[in-house]
Structure 1
Amino acid sequence: MVLTVAASQFTVGWTNDLLDADRDATVGRTDKPLASGALGRRTVAVAAAVAAIATVALALTTNPAAAFCAIVALVSALLYDWPLKSTAVSVLPYAISFGALPAFVVLALPGAPAPPAWLVAAAALLGAGAHFANVLPDFADDARTGVRGLPHRLGPAGSRAAAVGLLIAATVTLVLGPPGPPTGVGLAAVVAAVVIFILAWHLGRADERAGARPVAAFRAVLLVALIDVVLLVTSGRLV
């Protein structure tokens, strides 16, 4: 499972950098080896292809149902890289790929039941929220290079609102989804997520007024995602 997910991440990341090399060069992304010329495109293309083949091969070592979920997640993520990144449905690959990930993990476990709907829904909400927050620091660069996904159409304020709503919904789903009453830890996690996003909202507005890259929302997403992972692991309940 670990190797499958790692290989899929290599595939998607390298493919994304390959497709965005010209855009990254245009906006001066010196942290990108392809944009700076430190790495050849053919090398990255071959590496991405090998990683894609490895993803499928590794996934098939589990079982057909789990492998199907892993392949769906990979194909969906690659469709985001091209051509959906600049469309009004750019959020769909994030929701599909994130939702398929826990389904793959659960199905790959020997004798495990089918993944519960709340688990897949929470992961999909987390992925959709991450998409809106992930774009926030890059609005200016994306405008220069013609990227117009759903977050760009909603604008910074709309994207912040979407990210906050979706990620809080993911946290609530993880708290209320498992059988039994919500725990005190779960309720505290919901409160913490709300407080984190209130702070991130105000910090993001301050960044915009100062002309700085609005990274507060993205950092908030990482923190709430960590909270959600802890909720999932500590719940220990799937059905």
Structure 2
Amino acid sequence: MSRRVSALIKASHPEPAVAVTTVTALLAWGVGHRPAGIALVAATVAATQLAVGWTNDWLDAGRDRQTGRADKPVATGVVSRRTVGVAGLAAALATPLLAAPTGLAAALCITAALLSALAYNWPLKSTAVSVLPYAFSFGALPAFIVLALPGAPAPPAWLVTAAGLLGAGAHFANVLPDLADDARTGVRGLPHRLGATGSGVAAAGLLFAATVTLVVGPPGPPSWAGLVAVAGTAVILPTGWYAARRAARRASRSDGVFRAVLLVAVIDVVLLVASGPVG
């Protein structure tokens, strides 16, 4: 693999792209898709992730150079900004084409999710409503997967709501490690306005709400596994906050809140995938 191709892959934000695509495939399996359907929805979501990642690096090239981001191929000059921009446009245009065989409703849903995510990259990233694209796009993801089933069944409201809460929580958690760099380059999204403490509380509250929704939302009584997940979440989040507070008193750095939020996000993803067939 050439250095340029490797750099282009790195500029796509491959870790979250692979994570979201993998969750998509697992959720598609969980709700009852056949192998061909799993492959189709996963490929479509992969295209959205590539489009969002490349567009993000295309837009943030100047900021990344200003903050000395050695992990950003465009900022270091390994791959050109134009190349990344063209790749992002191609992936965005491929999304509705890949989604077309899933049906009109599903294709419109995933296209709307992509447009929402791109709107976060610009212009909503630096506004007080920066959380809204995350909530909408994450909520639209399981809606797309369910709508892509034969007969296009209506997505359960609890499933869409839980995914939206998970996405909103992920927004605050994702920004926490970069608050200082973002402040130096003028980014003023909702997490930056709330600050590290406010963002940590918001992330924890949203993810706890997502956990509860995933447990009590499906028909029938909550499972024992679900109740254990809620109890675990209620312990993990305050523990992370306490660790961060102790580190702050010692004037040392702690990722306690961030790690706790990520652990709860993993629990929520497991609950999401285990939600079972619909339609």
Same-fold call, TM cutoff 0.5: yes
Is residue 58–residue 82 contact of structure 2 (8 Å, CA) maintained in 1? no
CA distance in 1, matches of 2:245, 2:50: 34
Q: 1:115: which partner in 2?
A: 155
Q: Does residue 1:136 correspond to 2:176, yes or no?
A: yes
Mapping 1:1-239, distance limit 5 Å: 1-206=41-246, 208=248, 210=251, 212=253, 215-236=255-276, 238=278
1:89-127 Cα offsets, whole Å, 9 max, x none, are 000000000000000001101135200110000000000
CA distance in 2, matches of 1:179, 1:132: 30
CA distance in 1, matches of 2:51, 2:197: 32
Is residue 178–residue 238 contact of structure 1 (8 Å, CA) maintained in 2? no
In the alignment, residue 86 of structure 1 is paired with which amino acid? Answer: S
In the alignment, residue 200 of structure 1 is paired with which amino acid? Answer: G
In the alignment, residue 2 of structure 1 is paired with which amino acid? Answer: A
1:13-46 Cα offsets, whole Å, 9 max, x none, are 1111111111111111101101111110111011
Is residue 106–residue 145 contact of structure 2 (8 Å, CA) maintained in 1? yes
Structure 1 residues 207, 9: closer, same or farther in 2, change over 3 A?
farther
In the alignment, residue 138 of structure 2 is paired with which amino acid? Answer: F
Q: Structure 1 residue 196: deviation in Å?
A: 1.8
Structure 1 residues 204, 24: closer, same or farther in 2, change over 3 A?
farther
In the alignment, residue 132 of structure 1 is paired with which amino acid? Answer: F
- Stretches of structure 2 that go unaligned for 5 or more consecutive residues are 1-40
CA distance in 1, matches of 2:193, 2:207: 20
- Stretches of structure 1 that go unaligned for 5 or more consecutive residues are none
Structure 1 residues 186, 14: closer, same or farther in 2, change over 3 A?
same
Structure 1 residues 205, 13: closer, same or farther in 2, change over 3 A?
farther
Is residue 200–residue 258 contact of structure 2 (8 Å, CA) maintained in 1? no
Q: Structure 1 residue 208: deviation in Å?
A: 4.8
Q: Percent identity?
A: 68
| Counterpart secondary structure, 1:31 | coil
CA distance in 2, matches of 1:173, 1:22: 40
In the alignment, residue 174 of structure 1 is paired with which amino acid? Answer: L
Q: Structure 1 residue 216: deviation in Å?
A: 3.5
Q: Structure 1 residue 166: deviation in Å?
A: 0.4
| Counterpart secondary structure, 2:78 | coil
1:152-186 Cα offsets, whole Å, 9 max, x none, are 11111111111010000000000000000001100
TM-score, normalising length: structure 1: 0.94
In the alignment, residue 12 of structure 1 is paired with which amino acid? Answer: V
In the alignment, residue 31 of structure 1 is paired with which amino acid? Answer: D
Q: Structure 1 residue 221: deviation in Å?
A: 3.1
| Counterpart secondary structure, 2:142 | helix
Q: Structure 1 residue 139: deviation in Å?
A: 0.9
Structure 1 residues 110, 237: closer, same or farther in 2, change over 3 A?
closer
CA distance in 2, matches of 1:206, 1:25: 34
CA distance in 2, matches of 1:208, 1:79: 35
When the two structures are aligned, how many residues end up with a matched partner?
238
